[in-house]
A = this chain, B = another copy of it.
Amino acid sequence: MGRPMNQDETPPVRFERVALIGIGLIGSSLAHVIRRDGIAPHISVCARTHKTLDTARALGIADSTTTDPRACVEGADLVVLCTPIGTYAAITRAIAPALQRGAIVTDVGSAKVCTLTDVGDNLPEGVAFVPGHPIAGTEYSGPESGFAELFQGRYCLLTPPPGTDPVAVERIAALWRAAGMIVEMMPAAHHDRVLAITSHLPHLIAYTIVGTATDLAEEARSEVIKFSAGGFRDFTRIASSDPVMWRDIFLNNREAVLEMLARFNEDLMALQRAIRWGEGDVLEDKFARTRAIRRGIVEAKQA
């Protein structure tokens, strides 16, 4: 799995026509995987602008292109939503009449409870919805930033609601395994809580501190840039992720993010107090215990 296939090998999963709605980092990376492994003979791509569609064609990852989601999904047996989560409801309502019976709809969004209503509830009978989240990314956006190896060795979470066609679930799982991912199943609500702490809160904090630095006086700002090697630059990388995508994640995973944020604030206040009162033993103790988590990540080969 996850390695380039020989031409005479049978791909582990096959579709006739894949419709990618949105062709940013994740959509284009998936298109590269589909091409590499011969998973589908036709990739139909939808984007908002002709410029993006031209880029996708030039990259060789689109067989047909359109700005109309409904036209994009006609004849498709797999539809992958790769746009910001906030667009899901409108797109699903637009494509629903054109979806063929037996088609599978999946997505790659970072919040999953919201997809059950925004996507699942708007689909016609006979179309399966398998919510998915490949946990992979870089700070770059757009079709030219995609590459097939993006997913290699990372986790993909599928959150199909009870009653989802198991064959459809297995085909989506096989698709992401072909991309090199480790696929796991979990309830959507659980996914949203775990991602709130592992992804959403880190992004919110990174955006915040980079914003705090941006507000410093002009001279200090140029120094922030020059002397960023002491920790700050990692935050700026995270905080250069796509603003619209992240806006939609926070709006659509509000409860879990606010809960994790409250826990974080309590812990930060405790450290702030320890600094103010010069409680060195409290600081050292707190700083020492976080190494175990890092060790776990290195051992799980997710570093």
Contact = CB atoms under 8 A, between A and B. Distances in A.
Interface residues of A, number: 95
A231 interface: yes
Given A207-B290, A254-B276, A293-B224, A110 B247 contact: no
B267 A208 contact: yes
A264 B198 contact: no
Contacts of A198: 213, 223-224, 227-228, 230-232
Interface string A232-247: 1111111111011011
A209 B201 contact: yes
Given A155-B229, A231-B199, A276-B258, A293 B205 contact: no
Given A86-B280, A213-B198, A276-B258, A229 B302 contact: yes
A186 to B, nearest CB: 8
A250 B263 CA distance: 22
How many copies of the chain does the oligomer comprise?
2
Contact of A288 (B243, B261, B284): B243
B155 A294 contact: no
Interface in A192-214: 193-195, 197-214
Nearest to A186: B223
B227 A195 contact: yes
B224 A194 contact: yes
B232 A136 contact: no
Contacts of A211: 267, 286, 289-290
5 contacts: A184-B226, A202-B235, A229-B302, A233-B297, A239-B293
- The 5 A-B residue pairs whose C-beta atoms are closest, nearest first, are A199-B230, A243-B287, A202-B231, A240-B294, A210-B290
